[in-house]
Amino acid sequence: MSTQHPILDTLRAIVGATHVLTDADGDLTAYEQDWRKRERGKALAVVRPASTDEVAAVVRACVAHKVALVPQGGNTGMVVGSTPDASGTQVVLNLTRLNRIRTIDAANLTVTVEAGCVLQTLQEACAAQGYLFPLSLAAEGSCTIGGNLATNAGGTQVVRYGNTRELCLGLEVVTAQGEVWHGLTGLRKDNTGYDLRHLFIGSEGTLGIITAATLRIYPQPVAQLTAFAALPSLDAAVQLLGLAHQHLHAGLTGFEVMADFAVGLVRKHFPQQRIPFAAAASPWYVVLENSDLESETHARTRFEALMEAAFEQGCITDAVIAENIAQAHALWHIRESVPLAQAQEGLNIKHDISLAVSRIPAFVAEMDALLAQHYPGVRLVNYGHLGDGNLHYNVQAPEGTNGEAFLLEQEGQVNTLVYDMVQRYSGSISAEHGIGSMKRDKLAHYKEPAALALMRSIKAALDPQGLLNPGKML
Ligand code: FAD
Ligand code: MLT
Ligand code: ZN
């Protein structure tokens, strides 16, 4: 039926018939189902433009036909934001063909890149020219710069370089009317009114289509040291973070925490990985990274001083320090494998929360106790970006029980318990994954009414017809 819709011929004329996919062209699961397999939608068509002008023309066609658009990059998002609803009436606007790296401006320390460029491709292109593009996350082999910007992605280097928002100096955006805003200035200072780029960053495809961005790049560090440390408690991890800031200053580029159970899932599902500690050797682990712009000696001197202080104060009980880049990658790989191992373990209830770092140990103690009281035997897969006060406080069904049934029956109540506590601790219910359609009702419940009203006004002003990613976020 969908192949008959009158918009399809217009779309084919814009991007070429081979880049308009419908059911007749084969299996569209990769575009219609979210990464976590939480929902399967149905698209009217998947459209794959290759230039900004094509994106603008597609948007204008959708406006003319009153057809809603779902922008999509690598479809690695965690909150069902980049897939269509089940109506079969929405066009998926997949941007992965719009993927050129336009320029690297060495003097300005910026790179200008199209939205569909895969993050790892950009990292590698910058590295080949001696620069660092610091955004780093386990999905980097398939997530795109447009998706990173639209979700304001975090990842493992935020403690030093900030979220994607902090890395962005300019944007090119196709508006909901199909006009192009050319905002790729690359300026570090520009106070000519509202800073529009910040409206689109983190807007999850609800305000405009990001087609390109000018992003900060940095000199490559000359030395990097990575440690995998065992800790007696979460309090100790917070103490270690304080010491790391004191000793390493801006050299602290990664600080990730994992509970023993989370590491155990990697051990179980990826037995080929070498984990430096035995099961249950310690309740908590931290992956810590020091990047140095001076020299290997400078890096080692600082890192050793940090480790010495940490042992003396009892905040680490044991640690492995990578001897070379391959070992450092292997240690990072353990941390990056946690979400994949958790997905293998079965369906789970994810929470991507942020809190003041200082309040995290008290939150976790209180939350663990409350959940254990409600759900005896419940398994908590707790890990995340402690350096940014961001935990992935995930809840998995008790061992031997049906994960799917637990999710169906308990997700609502588990979420309420967790988010009510997050609110009591003045935290956020979404630190980095965003809202999508999964947390839309939660946003409405937990966000301050005045803030929600402002967000709705912005949406109405920029997308009055409500054609951009309807049903997501608001
Ligand atoms: P998609 O999933 O395709 O889209 C995400 C959202 O952005 C959707 O709302 C979509 O409509 C919108 N969008 C996409 N492209 C555009 C565009 N060009 N213009 C406008 N809107 C657009 N996230 C983190 O923050 N930190 C992590 O550490 C992290 N680790 C991850 C690890 C794994 C294994 C996986 C699977 C995911 C992880 N994520 C993480 C989540 C996800 O990878 C990020 O949110 C990523 O930024 C999404 O990029 P994408 O290209 O896949 O976007
Ligand atoms: C991570 O930090 O590993 C990601 O945000 C993904 C996840 O939490 O599943
Ligand atoms: Zn994360």
**What mean pLDDT, rounded, does the chain reach?**
97
Residue with CA closest to ligand 2 atom 9:
339
**Domains of the chain listed by start with CATH number:** 1-220 (3.30.465.10), 223-339 (3.30.70.2190), 346-424 (3.30.70.2740)
Share of the chain above pLDDT 70, in %: 99
Q: Is the pLDDT of residue 3 over 70?
A: no
pLDDT of residue 306: 98
Cβ-contact 339, 392 below 8 angstroms: yes
How many C-beta atoms surround the C-beta of residue 209 within 10 A?
29
Q: Say whether pLDDT at 439 is over 90.
A: yes
Among positive and negative, which fits the CA dihedral 103, 104, 108, 114?
Answer: positive
The per-residue pLDDT for 4 is 86
* Mutation probe of ligand 2 site: the residue of 80, 335, 433 with most atoms within 8 A of C-beta: 433
Region 117-123: mean pLDDT is 99
The number of the ligand 1 atom at minimal distance from the alpha carbon of 34 is 2
Q: Is the pLDDT assigned to residue 305 strictly greater than 50? A: yes
pLDDT digits (tens, 9 = 90+) for 367-411: 999 999 999 999 999 999 999 999 999 999 999 999 899 999 999
Per-residue b/e over 238-271, b at no fewer than 16 CB within 10 Å?
bbbbebbbebbeebbbbbbbbbbbbbbbbbebee
**pLDDT higher than 50, residue 199:** yes
Please give the Cα distance from 367 to 419 (Å, whole number).
Answer: 10
Q: What is the rounded distance in angstroms from the CA atom of residue 411 to the CA atom of residue 427?
A: 20
The DSSP element (H or E) to which 444 belongs, if any, is helix 440-446
* pLDDT (average), residues 181-192: 97
- Atom 3 of ligand 2: nearest residue by CA position: 339
User: Separation of 339 CA from ligand 2 center, angstroms?
Assistant: 6
Residue 36 CA to ligand 2 center (angstroms) comes to 11
Q: What is the pLDDT of residues 59-99, one digit of tens each?
A: 999 999 999 999 999 999 999 999 999 999 999 999 999 99
Using the mean position of ligand 3's atoms as its centre, give its distance from the Cα of residue 339 in Å.
9
pLDDT in tens, 139-156: 999 999 999 999 999 999
Nearest CA to ligand 1 atom 47: 148
Residue 320: pLDDT band (50, 70, 90) is very high
Assigned token pair, 221? 């560090």
Task: Give the span between the Cα atoms of 333 and 312, in whole angstroms.
Answer: 28
Burial group, residue 305, by CB count within 10 angstroms (0-12, 13-18, 19+): middle
* Whole-number Å distance between alpha carbons of 104 and 184: 13
Interval between CA 3 and ligand 1 midpoint (Å): 29
Q: Using an 8 Å Cβ cutoff, are 117 and 99 in contact?
A: yes
pTM over 0.85: yes
Q: Is pLDDT at 138 greater than 50 in this prediction? A: yes
Ligand 1-lining residues (CB < 6 angstroms): 35, 70-78, 81-82, 95, 115, 137-139, 143-144, 146-148, 150-151, 153-155, 204-205, 209-210, 339-340, 432-433, 436, 469, 472
Nearest of 247, 387, 389, 226 to residue 312 by alpha carbon = 247
Q: Please report the pLDDT score of residue 2 as a whole number.
A: 47
CA dist., res. 158 & res. 170, Å (int): 19
Residue 200 C-alpha to ligand 3 middle, in angstroms? 21
With contact defined as beta carbons under 8 Å apart, do 160 and 249 qualify? no
Statement: residue 125 has pLDDT above 80: yes
Instruction: Decide: 472 and 440 in contact? Cβ < 8 Å.
Output: yes
